[in-house]
Structure 1
Amino acid sequence: MLDPASLYTLEDELPPLVEAHLVVALSGFVDAGGAVRLAVQHLRGVCEHRVVATFDVDQLHDYRARRPLMTFSGDRWEDVDSPVLRVEVLRDPEGSALLLLHGPEPDVQWERFVRAVWQLADRLGVVHTTVLSAAPTAVPHTRPSGVTASATRPELLEGFRTWDVEAQVPGHAAALLALRGGQSGHDVLSVLAHVPHYLAGNEYPDAAAVLVRTIAGVTGLSLPVQSLQEAASATRVEVDAQVADSAEAAAVVRALEEQYDAQGDEGRGTGAAEAFLPTADELGAEFERFLARQEDEPGTE
């Protein structure tokens, strides 16, 4: 393996941190509803932030698989929206700090990347890491988003719901980071937000809000979520309007509501395998077709 330390560059002046908390928010594979990306945007909007370390994306990114947008103007190329993967220190309005690793999930060199992250975490004095993700689940948009969690120690899961399921799923860099972190003695809490599976391809700010609230609860930082809540309310109004125009879509939502409510406080659609493989697949497919028809109709957005 190539030297993990050569995969990132540290800033000359590191911030003074005591028992630092690291939040890992990689966008890409496990980011239904763009919840992780929206959470990062929100955190950087409500907190002061500055760069601590920058990863060499050229060694980690497959440009042909995920092509960056380039700007062409008239007779020349003007700009490129290059991917950025970095660690920043964020400070809430009261001055409390956390470290945020954010950017696109690496396409290659996962083991080297993971080793680099834990090397960097040890250097910065990280004592606790929270990994964010979001997945399509069998929940309706008319109910609050929830989270389920896993961790490297049972004690870290106090107050969280966990998965009552054993399954093999496609791997991703954040999961490997948690696995290797546990094997090397780091405390890692992985939090997965639930996104209605029929809206997983749309931005879903309600799930982003629950991720930010979870970070606030774990770290004790003051992290307002008002703007995300306002965006979530607007999203619900928009989806409600579409549902009201279709008996088929309304049936989908009612079926998911009944399933959600029947599981009570212990489940909330989170504690069973159907959260990964929704029992309402057929209904969800019909709802997706309905939404696609709405988008294709003239005069709709």
Structure 2
Amino acid sequence: MVVALDGFLDAGNAGAIACRHLAAEGSGVGVGAGGGVVVATFDVDQLHDYRARRPPMSFVRDHYEAYDAPRLVVRLLHDTGGTPYLLLHGPEPDTRWEAFCRGVLEVIERFSVTLVVGMGSVPMAVPHTRPIAITHHANNPELLTGTSPWRGELRIPSSAQALLELRLGEWGHDALGFVAHVPHYLAQLDYPRASHALLEQVELAARLTIDLSDLGILAEEREEEIARYLAANSEVGDVVAALEQQYDAFARAEESGSSLLAEDQPLPTGEEIGQQFEQFLAGLERPDETGGGA
């Protein structure tokens, strides 16, 4: 079963985009459609804080219509080779995390799920011109398919998805996951390149075959938009270049086994980064002024 919850671990909407792609490809319908057979649903009224995350709806001239009710569902999908798998997706529960985990356990046991694979993404101070880094994690070390870039213990805010992996391990069920590192100046935009990287990992871990060609096209189009904007705004390009220097210094240090604290690397101040990234996002949202497309 593949798991991706909207909300906390979804920088660049990477998980949400990946889920839409899986739903489309796994049911043979067009991209963006909600495909597959829904085999389980959660009572969202018991899990969702409507005032904190108000669902959108339409007001047409003189009346309300088209209310987009939040849905947390499990779908039955098939990969390109016909292998069946489940997809759990929807908004992260705001309350009753333990009850949510027990509900997922019921689904796992009812459908004899042998492996749970999670997807997530976080904003990081990395440039978009370098490969997408992935953090691998699992409740069973034998499941790990890559080396973690982290050393020691990190105290982080929890999430329902992280708690689910922890609880499943306590209950004797294997679960692993992948977190993509999204450039923090792109975290508020759709970033399908991170979705593509996540699904590549899902393919390997779950032994699925997924057609990623359409997603690859979306990723290339977004990269072209970013490149056009950088070409027209050299000051933002300078900030990205500084991040590239930092990234490369860390990579060299990792390869040589030396300290990750690189010397004599010119980096912008936090205020400079904030100002330039605000301009960057504003430029992508106003393509007519920069010549790029949002």
TM-score tier (shorter): 0.7 to 0.9
Q: 2-side partners of 1:46 and 1:266: how far apart?
A: 40
Which amino acid in structure 2 is aligned with residue 284 of structure 1?
A: I
Q: Does 1:299 align with 2:278?
A: no
Structure 1 contact 53–86 (Cα < 8 Å) conserved? yes
Matches within 5 A, 1:262-277: 262-264=249-251
Q: Does 1:46 align with 2:25?
A: yes
Aligned-residue offset at 1:36? 0.3
Instruction: Spell out, residue by residue over 1:204-249, the C-alpha distance to the aligned partner (whole angstroms, 9 max, x if none).
Output: 0000001111111112211011111111111111111221223321
* Equivalenced residues, count: 274
Matches within 5 A, 1:148-187: 148-187=135-174
In structure 2, the residue matched to 1:98 is 85
Q: Does 1:247 align with 2:234?
A: yes
Which amino acid in structure 2 is aligned with residue 285 of structure 1?
A: G
Structure 2 contact 191–222 (Cα < 8 Å) conserved? yes
Aligned-residue offset at 1:181? 1.3
Aligned-residue offset at 1:44? 0.8
Aligned-residue offset at 1:164? 2.1
Q: 1:245 to 1:93 in 2, by over 3 A?
A: same
Which amino acid in structure 2 is aligned with residue 288 of structure 1?
A: F
Q: 2-side partners of 1:87 and 1:273: how far apart?
A: 42
Which one of the candidate residues 224, 227, 234 is aligned to 2:211?
224
In structure 2, the residue matched to 1:139 is 126
Structure 1 contact 256–280 (Cα < 8 Å) conserved? no
In structure 2, the residue matched to 1:285 is 274
Which one of the candidate residues 179, 183, 192 is aligned to 2:179?
192
TM-score of the aligned structures, taking structure 2 as reference length: 0.85
Matches within 5 A, 1:78-93: 78-93=65-80
Q: Which runs of 5+ in 2 are unaligned?
A: 28-35, 262-266
Instruction: Spell out, residue by residue over 1:97-131, the C-alpha distance to the aligned partner (whole angstroms, 9 max, x if none).
Output: 11110000011111111111112211211111111
Q: 1:298 to 1:114 in 2, by over 3 A?
A: closer
Q: 1:37 to 1:179 in 2, by over 3 A?
A: same
Matches within 5 A, 1:1-12: none
Which amino acid in structure 2 is aligned with residue 37 of structure 1?
A: A
TM-score of the aligned structures, taking structure 1 as reference length: 0.84
In structure 1, the residue matched to 2:56 is 69
Q: 1:118 to 1:162 in 2, by over 3 A?
A: farther
Q: 1:296 to 1:200 in 2, by over 3 A?
A: closer
Which amino acid in structure 2 is aligned with residue 152 of structure 1?
A: N
Q: Does 1:214 align with 2:192?
A: no
Q: Percent identity?
A: 42
Q: Does 1:25 align with 2:14?
A: no
Q: 1-side partners of 2:90 and 2:23: how far apart?
A: 13
Q: 1:36 to 1:266 in 2, by over 3 A?
A: farther
Which amino acid in structure 2 is aligned with residue 187 of structure 1?
A: D
The secondary structure found in structure 2 opposite 1:101 is strand
Aligned-residue offset at 1:163? 2.4
- Could you say what the CA RMSD is over the residues aligned between the two structures, in angstroms? 2.5
Which one of the candidate residues 34, 55, 63 is aligned to 2:13?
34
Structure 1 contact 146–207 (Cα < 8 Å) conserved? no
Q: 1:258 to 1:111 in 2, by over 3 A?
A: same
Q: 1:197 to 1:68 in 2, by over 3 A?
A: same
Structure 1 contact 36–208 (Cα < 8 Å) conserved? yes
